Amino acid sequence: MSKDVVRTEISTLGEFGLINHLTKEIKLNNPESVLGVGDDAAIINNGNMQTLVTTDLLLEGIHFDLTYVPLKHLGYKAAVVNFSDIYAMNGTPKQITVSLGISKRFAVEDIDALYDGIKLACEIYGVDLVGGDTSASMTGLTISITCIGIGEEGKIAKRNGAKENDLICVSGDLGAAYMGLQLLEREKSVLNDVEGATPKFEGREYILERQLKPEARKDIVRILAEKGIVPTSMIDVSDGLSSELMHICTQSKTGCRIYEERIPIDYQTAITAEEMNLNVVTAAMNGGEDYELLFTVPLDKHDEVSQIEGISVIGHITAESLGCAMITRDGSEITLKAQGWEHV
């Protein structure tokens, strides 16, 4: 960072001054947002719709590394991953509250950058920022976001609704965010060990974006609604395909069979995995942070769901007694394990 850049000490504003600084230009656009920042609580009127609430906590050194994560990207991602949880319920995010724990090494301009990302995400997804809190921190940066959404009664997709013979579907592709993280970690190591080295990211923009600036699949929820398809169960892929499938099967009291050859994997993901001597299917199954939607639909919806661009049918739900397994390309069965996502 240039020495000529003016940086404002947060202490010069104080807690309430910082809150006012960050939120003074925020406007409420949703009619459900009756009252936002400025009182003891926000007021949200959702009428006859059901309210959905989710919270996500991000800790520096655990969930993100500011060595290679720009603060604006971090703000955007922190908001979007909460939106994704609401979409995974077949709902619509409407409001968020943002709480921050801030250490003294951060200046006002740093928090501005973080908020720029949060506000950009809110603008793109049509979500209102209606409140939050700030506190001093002794351990770096902590971000806690609560997202409030709405869902139509009878159409909210839970994890426990999958039925035997339902089709298992997933949006987009898997493993890209994990490989993006591996690339960032590799280049960080090189930069630390070699003076004057520059990171090599050419041709890997897609997997980097999937890690640093993921998107929630609002489009998939909209398309399913337009086609009158209500998922019997749904979850977003934050902890890896294997873990998410097991969440659905455990709560639905079912088993499943998925097929290795049907797991959608992007070319950049595959090439990067090969370069790093990693198994790309393992990355897709256990990587995490893809934020794609994993859902089940009745068997009679096969033709309709198969024709939707960006959705892959990767398997089917079975009886609970059959357990959860993947059928490999050579026809073998591998029992799924909930290895999940280990944050940096």
> In terms of pLDDT, which residue wins out, 174 or 201?
174
- State how far the Cα of 21 lies from the Cα of 37, in Å rounded to an integer: 12
What is the tens place of the pLDDT at every residue in 287-327?
Answer: 999 999 999 999 999 999 999 999 999 999 999 999 999 99
pLDDT band at 339 (very low <50, low <70, confident <90, very high): low
What is the tens place of the pLDDT at every residue in 142-163?
Answer: 999 999 999 888 899 999 999 9
Cα dihedral across residues 218, 259, 229, 302: positive or negative: positive
Domain ranges of the chain: 10-151, 167-335
Neighbours of 171 (CB within 10 A): 24
Strands 43-44 vs 167-171: parallel, antiparallel or unpaired = unpaired
Does position 342 have pLDDT exceeding 60, yes or no?
no
CATH fold for domain 10-151: 60s Ribosomal Protein L30; Chain: A; (3.30.1330)
- Domain 167-335's class? alpha beta
- State how far the Cα of 245 lies from the Cα of 156, in Å rounded to an integer: 18
What is the tens place of the pLDDT at every residue in 206-254?
Answer: 999 999 999 999 999 999 999 999 999 999 999 999 999 999 999 999 9
What is the 8-class DSSP label of residue 262? Answer: G
Cβ pair 130, 257 in contact under 8 A? no
- pTM attached to this predicted model: 0.89
> In terms of pLDDT, which residue wins out, 36 or 120?
120
Neighbours of 306 (CB within 10 A): 12
pLDDT band at 48 (very low <50, low <70, confident <90, very high): confident
Amino acid at 41: A
Neighbours of 232 (CB within 10 A): 20
Does position 167 have pLDDT exceeding 50, yes or no?
yes
Helix, strand, coil content of the chain in percent (nearest 5): 35, 25, 40
Matching fold, domains 10-151 and 167-335: no
